[in-house]
Chain A
Amino acid sequence: MNTKPFSPYVPRPVTLVEKTKLSDFVTRFTFEQDNGRPLAHKPGQFVNLSVYGVGEAPFSISSPPRRTHNSFEIAVRKIGVVTSALHELEPGAKVGLRGPYGTSFPVMKFVGKDILIIAGGLGYIPLRSLLFYQLRHREEFNRMVLMVGTREPKERIFVDEIAELAKSADVEVLETVDVPDSTWNGNVGVITTLLPKAELDPGNTYVAMVGPPIMYRFVIAECRKKGIASDQIFVSLERKMKCGLGKCGHCQINELSTCIDGPVFCYTDIEAYQEAI
């Protein structure tokens, strides 16, 4: 009989196997679960990662679900104490993991539909999980459009990957930067300027968007203008998900706990909440 007492606050060990620099401040980390099992997450979910002695913080899972392999990826901007400590780690290092937690993008709803993925800044990180999951099952979906917006060219992440995608016939890629520099000869303007460039079939298009807090209001308005209904728009919202169990109160959006009711929400379900968007 297993008498080991259970606590939802106890992380399990995972090992860093790869670390790839994506930009000056963003790094991709590949971990493997020490228990040998796949993470069994769904696109859009997050994990709570512990650098022992420093702290625990929530991170979106960036890799698509893997059925047979125990690895998964996150991509992290070096911005606080936990993220800085993560950047200090080298392959072989162990960290603690809780999760996956939260809601995911309703992939089954997207089957047979056009899908528009809108990624502002670091929003590409969680959306990547959805994007590659869908690409793996490409025949299940109709048209796929990816819009990526970044503040400056030097802040772009997954540059080669997005360039590869742009070349493939599977996804139509539209990219923009807010502030160009001499290296940039693509679109210039905030991400909303990309929407008029895409011919969409609003009745048949589902939208998945992730970006900085300021982005949602404008992009949602633009989608609505295009005739896309609220219940076809899915957003992932960032809050301070501390416990991951809907208890500690930090991630509340009005009465919702982002960690269990979100982070992925259908826009219809949060439209009425003043604190959401």
Chain B
Amino acid sequence: MTTYTVYKEQLPGLFAKWSREHALYVPARLREGFYDLVPWRPGLEIAWEFDVAYNSPKRFLMPPHEPLITFNRKTCEAAPVFEAPRQILFGVHPYDVKAVNQLDQIMEAGAPDQNYMRRREATVVMAYEPLTVSSTAFWSSVGAANVAHGYDLYWTKIGPASFTVEVGSVRGEELLGMDGPLLPSTPGDKEGARRAKARILAKAHRLSLRYNWEETPRLLAKSWDSPIWRRYSQMCLACGSCNIVCPTCYCFDIREEADDQLEQGVRYREWDGCMLESFAKVAGNHNFRPKAQDRYRHRYFRKGKYIYDKIGELGCVGCGRCVRACTAGIANPLKVFNELWEEAAHEY
């Protein structure tokens, strides 16, 4: 894999060039402890030390509100709407790249979701090795510390003003070379990247599953009737915050509205959440998951078993966003999985 060394002083030039044809998003501090990917502008201070972007990258690939079709009520003709702005996400941590890779697989499977596919195609992902671990993150213990694909470039900060940049795609390499010739990394720089990885992994192990993450589906298969679901869900406000911040939650509702002439209209999708009370309700008000306990358990089964059974990876990448977002303090995959493990310990 080709790796180049890039210096901080080169960035303003590169960013300026990229942002001519792309919407460029970079990590920035919003306020103490809150970071997010924000539109780049000259002079913007980049938060190299950010622990987690409080909003997940899914919003760039599947916006909270996204038109799918336009229709004419009179003629009943409908046409697809595709919005696929060219964008660069600079500074996506590996666990979030992992989440994007999952969305890619799920949206492409069966009947490919063209809206997602087109947005994804127009999106350049520049991965970035974290320097700090969020106090609620546990990604290193769920197999999300490393990604092998899904990025165009992978940036690692190896010194106060230097980076190694591993090439993941031709498109990435071309973007990196836009502002002049590239400098291949020396063995020393590559060693620096390896050390940076080792340093962050050492920090990341602070919070960890107590067992090999690959046991999670089997663990859950035994835990359908565990008292844990009721114990935690008793406090659930059914607000859907955990769904909203989750980088792998992709469930959506489809709605529509007509214009003021009641002639033209737009059908769009909106983020939905399996923790919301009406999520599994059908006509006649029959609710297939009427209790908070049913919905809470469903979410953990999706993250720990159902997604795994589909694609062989946990549906939780350990970003810890839901832990931070949950008002009731009950969203915590690490705690839930570890407690289930304790409960089941006598069976192992």
Residues of A within 8 A of B (CB): 5-11, 13, 50, 52-57, 77, 79-80, 83, 94-96, 212-213, 238-240, 242-243, 245-250, 252, 254-255, 260, 274-275
Contacts and interface: CB of A to CB of B under 8 A. Distances in A.
Contact of B288 (A54, A77, A239): A239
Nearest to A246: B110
9 contacts: A5-B114, A7-B68, A9-B254, A52-B256, A53-B258, A239-B280, A240-B282, A246-B110, A250-B251
A79 B258 contact: no
Contacts of B251: 248-250
Interface in B233-272: 250-258, 262, 265, 267, 269, 272
Contacts of B252: 243, 247-249
B80 A53 contact: no
A96 B252 CA distance: 20
Contacts of B224: 274
A9 B115 contact: yes
A145 to B, nearest CB: 28
Interface of B: 68-69, 71-73, 75-80, 82, 106-107, 109-115, 224, 250-258, 262, 265, 267, 269, 272, 274, 279-284, 286, 288-289, 298, 301-302, 305-306, 309-310
A261 B34 CA distance: 41
Contacts of B69: 7, 9-11
A249 B111 contact: no
A47 B230 CA distance: 37
B78 A96 contact: yes
Contacts of A275: 288-289, 298
Specify the main secondary structure of chain A where it touches its partner.
Answer: loop
A13 B114 contact: no
A10 B78 contact: yes
Specify the main secondary structure of chain B where it touches its partner.
Answer: mixed
Nearest to B112: A8
For B250, B255, B284, B289, the residue with the greatest tally of chain A CB atoms inside 10 Å of its CB is: B284
Contact of B78 (A6, A11, A57, A245): A11
Given A10-B80, A56-B267, A260-B110, A249 B258 contact: no
Given A9-B80, A96-B76, A96-B78, A254 B254 contact: no
A248 B272 contact: yes
Nearest to B225: A274
Given A83-B283, A240-B280, A240-B282, A55 B265 contact: no
A74 to B, nearest CB: 13
B310 A255 contact: yes
